[in-house]
């Protein structure tokens, strides 16, 4: 296996064409029909008339090249996409080359990374592409040697005639195969015959990453390129009143200071010069919207929870009567803070706006959208804009927005020069697009037997849209249910943050269910299982999660953690369905010198077929570390619109010393992949809070846990 890290489509086409023969197939991600595949000839390549968005080529020298079009930000699709194609092709993985796409097609659908959707979305198309090529190679061998194609098989990059023992590597057949019609109906492998899918394959970019090759947007340099930083308003709700840039402009290396929108851009020869000059800007701001502090939000949340102006998201039965008749009512509130995304590579983008077109290079989760927005901004046809994707140094949702791409493009158009805009860590943490802050109120009504007969959830969020997930568990399992939400509009900008909404909602819900189970006098796992049985036997309204899949992960986590049988270990349970997949977790806490220590987390995940065991395992473990770290430590607070945490000295991220042991188990059910970039994160906070309760008797309602009164004097993250 070999990987090309930086190429554009023209280079790729050249690369495939250089082979002088071979098989070159183009196909669309936006069509699952094999008939949409086409053999591409040298003429079409030369004329550049090709309009597919994905390719698979086999050279006469037996090099297989697979185009991997999604942005790679650590979810490992650059490795797992080609694995799927190679599986159905029955290829020799060591002969496969992986090429990252640039964006220059007119019709990209879902060249996007987000929502844990890359694999689920492309699974069938990738399989069909591989299977189509495989069938054409078999057919080529059959015709060449006049053998019935039914008597031919493939294995590890060879077409094999068992009877005679003859075998041909794919490269030998590729040129003949390219002259054949593309079959419209191909047979996919039986999943039990998978040889590549489900194994642990190393990341195709490992060697480049561990030797420091220029892979990321921040590593992009171009002769004559300028560097820029942008000073954005210090407080949300403010706008520029006046700018005095004389001192900044006088600094060495500075070529320009440009004011546009609410930005002051300092442009110069090097990052450090720009950074120094920027500090000399004298900018006056004035209020243009509400200037809010965290204390205002805390007050507002409580007021809005009493509001009558909510949007009803789901209503089953008659909650008023159920709560009136309840033997016991439990009501609890949970609040989450704003969080910045903080990918290790800060935002950056290169833009070169010329009269006749625009060149964009950098890290984005949504290249198509970024290009579209730049086209609109500059009033230019999108096909005049090229966007080359770099590897992404993390995303976590931040790079779903195109704001930083637009800034770079606008600045380049104003200074008429190629420029790379970079954000400092402080820009990153104070620049908005946060995970929205939300407060929830959960209420449960229990009957005399401890059955949950009524359930209410109200969410109040800041720029959060619908901050509930009304069709999630336990909806469908409760006769009388009401879920509603209300949104407060604030100048503090928010955006999708890994596992949007559910990253906190899951904690609140699972911590609440734990408390309700305790009030009902039931084991928390049994309590959930009986609710699921109820949803199965007599569903209330629509049930939009897989009851059996959820039960399976619950039981697997219980089994792998020896639930309820460990002496001196406090276990907390949590299970959550998000982004199509199911993850249950058991957190284990032990008391050491009277203080709780989070020792271990056991996870059971059902994401359907696991494509790359190495990537998947780490995706779950990393999701848990992410969920745990933010639940324990992280928050952004505001004073008069100004974020109070600006860098890693005041904003705490989890570090090596604070990670518990994490065990991961997958459910092997053969279901088509349902995604794994996010689903492991949401359950962690709940499992940990429930375990901490068992160990200390203290319930946690707000994040970050380490800053709550209940955990005073405890250094959460301390090991044994």
Partner 1 sequence: MANYKLQINGRSYETETEADTPLLWVLRDHLGLVGTKYGCGIAQCGACTVHLNGNAVRSCSLPVSAVGTKKITTIEGLSAHGDHPVQAAWHEVDVAQCGYCQAGQIMTASALLAKNPTPTAEQIDNAMNGNICRCGTYHRIHEAITLASSKMK
**296 lies in the site for partner 1, by CB under 8 A:** no
What is the enclosing helix (H) or strand (E) of 378? helix 367-378
- Closest C-alpha to 227, from 254, 262, 267, 199: 267
Q: Which of residues 217-246 bind partner 1 (CB under 8 A)?
A: 218-219, 221, 227
What is the enclosing helix (H) or strand (E) of 248? helix 246-249
Q: Which of 621, 665, 694, 702 binds partner 1 (CB under 8 A)?
A: 621
Contact 388, 8 (CB under 8 A): yes
Compare residues 491 and 623 and give the one whose CB is closer to partner 1. Answer: 623
**425 lies in the site for partner 1, by CB under 8 A:** yes
We find the least distance from the C-beta atom of residue 460 to partner 1, in angstroms, to be 29
C-beta atoms surrounding 91 within 10 Å: 28
Backbone angles phi, psi at 408, to 5 degrees: -65, -45
DSSP 499-563: STTHHHHHHHHHHHHHHHHHHTT--HHHHHHHHHHHHHHS--S---S-HHHHHHHHHHHHHHTTT
C-beta atoms surrounding 155 within 10 Å: 11
> Which among 214-222, 378-386, 479-487, 571-579 is the span making contact with partner 1, rule CB under 8 A?
214-222
We find the least distance from the C-beta atom of residue 260 to partner 1, in angstroms, to be 24
We find the least distance from the C-beta atom of residue 209 to partner 1, in angstroms, to be 4
**5 lies in the site for partner 1, by CB under 8 A:** no
Q: Nearest 10 degrees: CA dihedral of 201, 203, 208, 213? A: 180
We find the least distance from the C-beta atom of residue 81 to partner 1, in angstroms, to be 16
**483 lies in the site for partner 1, by CB under 8 A:** no
**342 lies in the site for partner 1, by CB under 8 A:** yes
Compare residues 75 and 105 and give the one whose CB is closer to partner 1. Answer: 75
**345 lies in the site for partner 1, by CB under 8 A:** yes
**149 lies in the site for partner 1, by CB under 8 A:** no
Rg value, the chain, Cα: 28
Q: Which of 21, 183, 289, 394 binds partner 1 (CB under 8 A)?
A: 394
We find the least distance from the C-beta atom of residue 624 to partner 1, in angstroms, to be 7
3-state secondary structure 584-637: EEEEEEEEECCEEEEEEEEEEEECCCCCEHHHHHHHHHHHHHHHHHHHHHCCEC
Backbone angles phi, psi at 322, to 5 degrees: -60, -45
Backbone angles phi, psi at 210, to 5 degrees: -85, -5
Compare residues 210 and 381 and give the one whose CB is closer to partner 1. Answer: 210
Structure tokens at 308: 């009558």
Q: Which of 210, 448, 565, 709 binds partner 1 (CB under 8 A)?
A: 210
Compare residues 206 and 325 and give the one whose CB is closer to partner 1. Answer: 206
Compare residues 165 and 224 and give the one whose CB is closer to partner 1. Answer: 224
C-beta atoms surrounding 585 within 10 Å: 35
Contact 236, 114 (CB under 8 A): no
Compare residues 275 and 310 and give the one whose CB is closer to partner 1. Answer: 275
Q: Which of residues 29-88 bind partner 1 (CB under 8 A)?
A: 73-76
Compare residues 550 and 611 and give the one whose CB is closer to partner 1. Answer: 611
Letters for 190-209 (x = contact with partner 1 by CB under 8 A, - = none) are ----------x-xx-xxx-x
- Closest C-alpha to 452, from 393, 403, 514: 514
Contact 682, 494 (CB under 8 A): no
Report how far residue 137's alpha carbon sits from residue 173's, in angstroms, rounded to the nearest whole number.
6
> Which among 24-32, 422-430, 452-460, 464-472 is the span making contact with partner 1, rule CB under 8 A?
422-430
**266 lies in the site for partner 1, by CB under 8 A:** no
Letters for 647-676 (x = contact with partner 1 by CB under 8 A, - = none) are xxx---xxxxx-x--x--------------
**271 lies in the site for partner 1, by CB under 8 A:** yes
We find the least distance from the C-beta atom of residue 162 to partner 1, in angstroms, to be 36
We find the least distance from the C-beta atom of residue 645 to partner 1, in angstroms, to be 12
Contact 687, 586 (CB under 8 A): yes
**273 lies in the site for partner 1, by CB under 8 A:** yes
Compare residues 53 and 561 and give the one whose CB is closer to partner 1. Answer: 561
> Which among 10-18, 213-221, 317-325, 603-611 is the span making contact with partner 1, rule CB under 8 A?
213-221
> Which among 344-352, 587-595, 634-642, 704-712 is the span making contact with partner 1, rule CB under 8 A?
344-352
We find the least distance from the C-beta atom of residue 719 to partner 1, in angstroms, to be 8
**346 lies in the site for partner 1, by CB under 8 A:** yes
Report how far residue 65's alpha carbon sits from residue 444's, in angstroms, rounded to the nearest whole number.
56
- Closest C-alpha to 369, from 112, 196, 611: 112
Q: Cβ-count burial of 195 within 10 angstroms (0-12 exposed, 13-18 middle, 19+ buried)?
A: middle
- The DSSP secondary-structure symbol of 193 reads G
Compare residues 540 and 659 and give the one whose CB is closer to partner 1. Answer: 659
Report how far residue 115's alpha carbon sits from residue 414's, in angstroms, rounded to the nearest whole number.
35
We find the least distance from the C-beta atom of residue 126 to partner 1, in angstroms, to be 21
Give 534's strand partners: none
Compare residues 189 and 425 and give the one whose CB is closer to partner 1. Answer: 425
Structure tokens at 487: 């949104």
Q: Which of 344, 542, 591, 592 binds partner 1 (CB under 8 A)?
A: 344
Backbone angles phi, psi at 155, to 5 degrees: -160, 125
Contact 371, 360 (CB under 8 A): yes
**212 lies in the site for partner 1, by CB under 8 A:** yes
Q: Which of residues 576-615 bind partner 1 (CB under 8 A)?
A: 614-615
Catalog residues that contact partner 1 under the rule CB under 8 A. Answer: 73-76, 200, 202-203, 205-207, 209-216, 218-219, 221, 227, 252, 270-273, 276, 342-346, 391-396, 422, 424-426, 614-615, 618-619, 621-626, 629, 647-649, 653-657, 659, 662, 719
């Amino acid at each position: 296996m070999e990987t090309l890290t930086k190429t554009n489509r023209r280079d790729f086409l050249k690369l495939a064409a250089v082979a002088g023969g071979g098989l070159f197939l183009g196909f669309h991600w936006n069509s699952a029909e094999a008939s949409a595949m086409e053999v591409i000839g040298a003429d079409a390549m030369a004329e550049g008339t090709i309009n597919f968005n994905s390719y698979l080529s086999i050279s006469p020298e037996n090099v297989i090249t697979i185009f991997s079009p999604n942005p790679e930000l650590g979810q490992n699709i650059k490795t797992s996409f080609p694995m799927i194609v190679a599986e159905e092709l029955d290829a020799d993985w060591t002969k496969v080359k992986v090429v990252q796409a640039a964006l220059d097609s007119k019709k990209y659908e879902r060249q996007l990374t987000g929502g844990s959707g890359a694999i689920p979305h492309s699974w069938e198309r990738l399989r069909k592409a591989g299977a189509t090529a495989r069938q054409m190679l078999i057919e080529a061998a059959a015709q060449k040697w006049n053998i019935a194609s039914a008597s031919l098989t493939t294995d590890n990059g060879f077409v094999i005639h068992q009877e005679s023992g003859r075998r041909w590597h794919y490269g030998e057949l590729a040129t003949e195969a390219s002259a054949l019609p593309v079959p419209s109906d191909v047979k996919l492998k039986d999943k039990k015959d998978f040889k590549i899918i489900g194994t642990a394959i190393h990341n195709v970019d490992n060697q480049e990453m561990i030797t420091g090759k220029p892979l990321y947007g921040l590593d992009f340099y171009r002769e004559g390129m300028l560097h820029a930083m942008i000073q954005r308003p210090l407080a949300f709700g403010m706008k520029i009143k006046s700018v005095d840039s004389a001192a900044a402009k006088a600094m060495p290396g500075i070529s320009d200071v440009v004011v546009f929108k609410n930005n002051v851009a300092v442009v110069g020869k090097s990052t450090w010069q720009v950074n120094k000059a920027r500090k000399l800007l004298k900018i006056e701001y004035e209020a243009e919207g509400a200037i809010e502090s965290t204390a205002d939000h805390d007050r507002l949340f409580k007021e809005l929870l009493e509001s009558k102006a909510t949007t009803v998201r789901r209503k089953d039965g008659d909650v008023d009567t159920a709560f009136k008749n309840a033997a016991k009512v439990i009501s609890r509130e949970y609040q989450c803070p704003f969080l910045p995304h903080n990918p290790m590579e800060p935002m950056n983008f290169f833009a070169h706006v010329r009269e006749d077109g625009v060149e964009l290079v950098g890290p984005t989760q949504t290249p198509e959208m970024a290009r579209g927005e730049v086209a609109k901004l500059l009033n230019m046809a999108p096909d005049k804009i090229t966007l080359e994707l770099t590897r992404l140094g993390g995303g976590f949702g931040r790079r779903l927005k195109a704001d930083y791409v637009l800034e770079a493009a606008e600045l380049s158009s104003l200074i008429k020069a190629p420029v790379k805009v970079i954000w400092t860590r402080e820009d990153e943490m104070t620049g908005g697009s946060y995970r929205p802050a939300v407060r929830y109120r959960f209420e449960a009504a229990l009957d005399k037997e401890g059955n949950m007969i009524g359930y209410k959830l109200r969410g109040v969020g800041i720029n959060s849209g619908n901050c509930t997930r009304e069709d999630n568990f336990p909806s469908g399992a409760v006769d009388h249910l009401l879920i509603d939400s209300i949104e407060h509009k604030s100048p503090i900008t928010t955006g999708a943050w890994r596992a949007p909404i559910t990253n906190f909602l899951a904690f609140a819900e699972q911590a609440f269910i734990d408390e309700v189970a305790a009030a009902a006098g039931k084991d928390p796992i049994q309590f959930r299982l009986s609710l699921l049985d109820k949803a199965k036997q007599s569903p209330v309204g629509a049930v939009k999660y897989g009851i059996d899949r959820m039960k399976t992960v619950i039981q697997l986590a219980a089994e792998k953690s020896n639930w309820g049988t460990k002496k001196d270990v406090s276990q907390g349970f949590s299970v959550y369905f998000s982004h199509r997949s199911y993850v249950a977790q058991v957190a284990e806490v032990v008391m050491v010198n009277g203080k709780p220590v989070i020792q271990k987390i056991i996870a059971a995940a059902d994401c359907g077929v696991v494509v790359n065991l190495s990537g998947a395992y780490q995706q779950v473990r990393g999701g848990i570390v992410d969920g745990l770290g933010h639940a324990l430590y992280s928050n952004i607070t505001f004073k008069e619109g100004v974020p109070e945490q600006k860098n890693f000295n005041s904003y705490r991220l989890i570090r090596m010393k604070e990670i518990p042991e994490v065990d991961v188990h997958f459910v092997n059910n053969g279901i088509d992949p349902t995604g794994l970039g996010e689903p492991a994160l949401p359950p962690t906070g709940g499992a940990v809070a429930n375990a901490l309760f068992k160990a200390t008797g203290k319930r946690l309602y707000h994040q970050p846990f380490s800053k709550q009164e209940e955990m005073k004097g405890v250094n959460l993250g301390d090991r044994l």
